[in-house]
């Protein structure tokens, strides 16, 4: 789920019922990049600390760097057994457009299409981005 979706009542109704029905096999993955399609999340809704909100609802919460493959893998490796009674929320702190100079933290790239020169720039930018500790080629 995106953090923008966290502003919808249906998400919180599901979150509340997941705890009530002890759905320990449920995993919510939340992309916390701070941007929605029409602006910054905190300016639009005052969402604040999403991890704390899930904890308050009774979820087990893991916060990770959503750009770090090792942290993502560890979060999944350390999930409780499927018969546990608490659902898990994995809050992935990310940067929208990570690694692409003209896209990072730019709400205008929530959706869109690159032209050829932007594509070339993005591919050049991505050569410096690390994945699993190694540069991508």
4-135 classified as CATH 3.40.50.970: yes
Q: Supply the pTM of this predicted model.
A: 0.84
Nearest-5° angle of CA 79, CA 84, CA 89?
50
pLDDT in tens, 105-126: 888 887 889 999 999 999 998 8
Q: How many percent of the chain have pLDDT more than 90?
A: 57
Q: Is the pLDDT at 77 greater than 70, yes or no?
A: yes
Q: Provide the pLDDT confidence category of residue 131 given band limits of 50, 70 and 90.
A: low
Q: Strand pairing partners for 130?
A: 135
Tell me how far the alpha carbon of residue 40 is from its chain's centroid: 15
The structural domains of the chain, with segments of one domain joined by +, span 4-135
**Lookup: tokens for 86:** 């608490």
**Lookup: tokens for 88:** 């898990």
**Lookup: tokens for 110:** 């929530």
């Amino acid at each position: 789920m995106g953090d923008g979706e966290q502003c919808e009542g249906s998400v919180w109704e599901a979150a509340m019922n997941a705890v009530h029905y002890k759905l320990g096999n449920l995993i919510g993955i939340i992309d916390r990049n701070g941007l929605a399609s029409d602006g910054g999340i905190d300016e639009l809704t005052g969402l604040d600390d999403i991890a704390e909100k899930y904890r308050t609802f009774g979820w087990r919460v893991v916060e990770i760097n959503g750009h770090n493959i090792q942290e993502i893998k560890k979060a999944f490796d350390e999930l409780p057994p499927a018969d546990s009674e608490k659902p898990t929320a994995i809050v992935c702190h990310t940067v929208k457009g990570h690694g692409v100079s003209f896209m990072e933290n730019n709400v205008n790239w929530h959706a869109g299409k690159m032209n050829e020169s932007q594509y070339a720039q993005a591919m050049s930018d991505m050569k410096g981005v690390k994945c699993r500790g190694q540069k991508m080629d």
